[in-house]
Structure formats: C-alpha cells, structure tokens
Amino acid sequence: MPASNVAGHPGRLVIGNVAGKRVAALAGRVHFYEGYDLATVVFATRVMGRLGVKRVILTNAAGGINTGFARGALMIIDDHINMVGGSPLIGPNDDRFGPRFPDMSEVYSARLRTIADEAARAKGVAVSHGIYVATHGPSYETPAEIRFFRGIGADAIGMSTVPEAIAARHMGMEVLGVSCISNAAAGVLPHPIVHEEVLATMQRVRSSFIALLEGVVERL
C-alpha cells in the first residue's frame, strides 16, 4: 500500500471482526496533495473491491461550511461536489473494475444512510446530513472560496473521500460517508485553521465516532 506522511494517517491495514462481521479497515489514507496520482489514491479501494468487499464506509475530518454545525459534529454525507480537479476514472477503463461511464446518481447509498441514522439513534449519537465538497489541498480554502462553496450547496469541505467514493461506486460497492466537523471553514470564525485543531477534535469525538461505526456494522 502507498504510505502517507500526514500526521494522523499511520497507514495500516487491519483485518478483524466487529459485531461478528469480518472487517478490513485502513488506518489512514494517501492524498492527492501528497503528490500521488488519483489512481494511486484509490489503490486501496480497488484492492478492497477485488478482495470481495461489498460495502465501504469512508470517514474524514472536514471543515464546517454550514454555520449550524458545531465543531465535533458528525455529518452523514448525502452527496458530494468534486472540486479535486480530476477523477480516478480518467484514462483507459479496466472492465474488471466497472463500466466506462458509471452512474453517480446515488454515490452514497440511501440504504446505508438509513442504517446509519438507526445506529445513531440506538447509540445516542447525534448526526446531521449534508453535502461534502472535496478540494485537492493542501492549503486550506480562502474565505471567498468558502462563500462560493456555500452558495452551491456544500455543508462541509475536505481533501479526501470523493476519489475513493467514485472508485468504489465504479466497482459496484455500496458507499457510506461520514464526516467529523473538525473545524470551522475559513471565514466562519475569526481565527486561522491549524492541523493540530483538527487532530484534537477527532480525538475528542473518537468514542462517539466508534460507537456510530460499530452500530452501522452491527446492522449490516
């Protein structure tokens, strides 16, 4: 597997059992902004699909564009806006993965989103729903960019997830996406964004995030 050099992404593949279900988990991911091409960014997703994985849960830390989101809120991704600057499907199509022109009208499974809502209620975890926009990074966005993204309907912003979601759907996998709102996006609050704040927020909500994911897996 390609290795990430970003803090909080140790780059481990862990295989085990959760709630009696066989699970493969990637601790961390590589990013487009690290200099990898998008085919490499989604390599782990492709491997999972070829191993027979049918459902994938993608998680991320995201900036809150929606001013109703508090830091540490969990957002179920209903849809996304791809501002990464490319697609992992560009280039010759490998028919073993999927069709040349895959449908993206339901990238994030309605069934899995319903299951996530049920799991959240059962575990006492508050969740919201929204639209996630992905940029290529690594710089955080400007306040003007955030105003633009808010205007086109985005609720949260990050630098990952969308390429993996596209690759997973290309391979016919069901996708669930969950964002942790780790910080307010640029211009929402009058202070700069720092990566340490992101890591601290993720650590604070760790138990709620784990409870939600366990609840989802239990219901699969």
Rounded Cα distance, 162 and 201, in Å: 22
pLDDT at 3: 63
**Widest Cα–Cα separation across the chain:** 49
pLDDT at 197: 76
Written as one string, the DSSP assignment of 89-134 is T-SS--TTT--SS---TTSS-HHHHHHHHHHHHHHT--EEEEEEEE
pLDDT at 149: 97
Domains and their CATH numbers in the chain: 55-218 (3.40.50.1580)
pLDDT at 11: 67
Q: Which stretches of the chain drop beneath a pLDDT of 50?
A: none
pLDDT at 33: 92
pTM: 0.92
Q: How far is CA 211 from CA 66, 122, 215, in A?
A: 24, 10, 6
| 38 contacts 87 by C-beta, under 8 angstroms | yes
pLDDT at 22: 93
pLDDT at 67: 92
| 138 contacts 112 by C-beta, under 8 angstroms | no
pLDDT at 26: 87
Give the CA radius of gyration of the chain: 17
Beta-carbon contacts of residue 76 (< 8 Å; ≥ 6 apart): 108, 113, 116, 117, 127, 128, 129, 130, 176, 177, 178
